[in-house]
Structure 1
Amino acid sequence: MLLSYPEADLSQDLVAVEQVLCGLASVPAASQLRRVAQWLGSMEQGEAAKTYVQVFDLSERVCLHLTYYRYGDTRERGMALAALVEAFQRAGFEVVPGELPDYLPALLELAATSATGTAVLGEHRVALDALHAALVELNTPYADVVDAVRSVLPRPSRRDRDALRQYRADGPPSERVGLEPFAPPEFLGGHNLLQGGSR
């Protein structure tokens, strides 16, 4: 919820977040998440929404779609998205048609209910590190949320660190020819929401 667009019921969402955090008092990352929740709670919904757009929609290096960091807009990204759709299906979820399956808030929902989601997040450690670095550069509290996620994942490997350095130097890969078939239409779209028998 803390990485999702602040909707009209933001205050109710933050109450739910605080209730969850009260049960996680012994988890080191809980204090980071509470700081972000309090920061969001200090704003009116409209101000919080405007801040969200400035951070996540207007910043070139900030993207909540994790496959973008590794693949950019290339054919390989289409295959990675298809693999994620299969991962959601194995866990009993369906990706809403027209939505991308690599949207971080949706992957966090998956991780909350399935070990598959945690494994997927681990596979995208480089993307999470790149996202965190970009948010730190913007000096936004949203960096604390991503850092909290990173704190419960295995430490990055040397290969991960090398990949992160390359991304920060060059940005995501690009491919300008023949992009039309890069993924089926149902994998292309905006933010991902889940639906499934367990929801």
Structure 2
Amino acid sequence: MRGPSRRGAPLAHFVASALLGYPDRELFAARPVLAEAVRRLPAGEPARRLGAFLDHLDRVSPPALAAHYVAVFDLSARCCPYLTYYTHGDTRARGGALLRFRALCRTAGVEPVDGELPDHLAVVCELSGRSAVPGVEERTAEAGRRARELLAEHRGAVELLLRGLEAERSPYADVVGAVLATVQPGRRRARVFAEPPVEGVGLAGYMRGGRG
């Protein structure tokens, strides 16, 4: 049976995808739209945690949040937002894992902006969230289903990301926690590493610098 947290998964993912992007002024301007989306969610942990982060937006300046974003997501390995980092680390094998996420983007007919890697949690959440809009094309709906399957398969990676954010006392833990609350473990479960492996070659392009 689908619980309350799962019924609103696509809409919760839509909000989370916006909140997990680089916090520019457009994000702050979109707060009323995002708040309305949260009000449409069923009562439960996703709505509560996303609402808590929106409340944080009211108390923080854009430069301060941007600095925090870079500190946790770009400079802290334990808060890496790329799902395959937790399954393959910075190794050559990661390229093969990324192919599934690239295929998902092709199914949706979109490309991540600014050369972003397709396994970024915000990208996967956006692909799921696009299917929350009534009357979407079949390929968009199919991409949404596949995005949620990948989230379920990589639930362990989302858990590790949440653990890292909680250790940093980051408000972004609420956003990732909201996503995690919508995801049940998949039948396929990717093996994750608390300390992902590293190779001496093929590192460029995986760990990215600040965005914005």
**Whole-angstrom CA distance in 2 between matches of 1:189 and 1:97:** 14
Q: Is the 8 A contact 2:22 2:69 kept in 1?
A: yes
Structure 1 residue 60 corresponds to structure 2 residue 77: yes
Residue matched to 1:129: 159
Q: Residues 48, 130 of structure 1: CA spacing in aligned structure 2 closer, same or farther, 3 A cutoff? A: same
Structure 1 residue 13 corresponds to structure 2 residue 43: no
Residue matched to 1:176: 200
Q: Cα offset for 1:128?
A: 0.3
RMSD across aligned positions (CA): 2.6
| Matches for 1:64-143 after TM superposition, within 5 Å | 64-96=81-113, 98-112=115-129, 113=131, 114-143=144-173
**Whole-angstrom CA distance in 2 between matches of 1:138 and 1:189:** 19
Identity %: 35
Structure 1 runs, 4 residues or longer, greater than 4 Å off:
187-191
Tell me which amino acid in the other structure corresponds to 2:198. S
**Whole-angstrom CA distance in 2 between matches of 1:48 and 1:95:** 23
**Whole-angstrom CA distance in 2 between matches of 1:28 and 1:189:** 31
Q: Is the 8 A contact 1:108 1:117 kept in 2?
A: yes
Q: Would you say how many aligned residue pairs link Structure 1 and Structure 2?
A: 179
Unaligned runs of 5+ in 1: 192-199
TM-score by length of 1: 0.79
Q: Cα offset for 1:96?
A: 4.8
Q: Cα offset for 1:93?
A: 2.5
**Whole-angstrom CA distance in 1 between matches of 2:158 and 2:109:** 25
User: Residue 82 of structure 1 aligns to a residue in which SS?
Assistant: helix
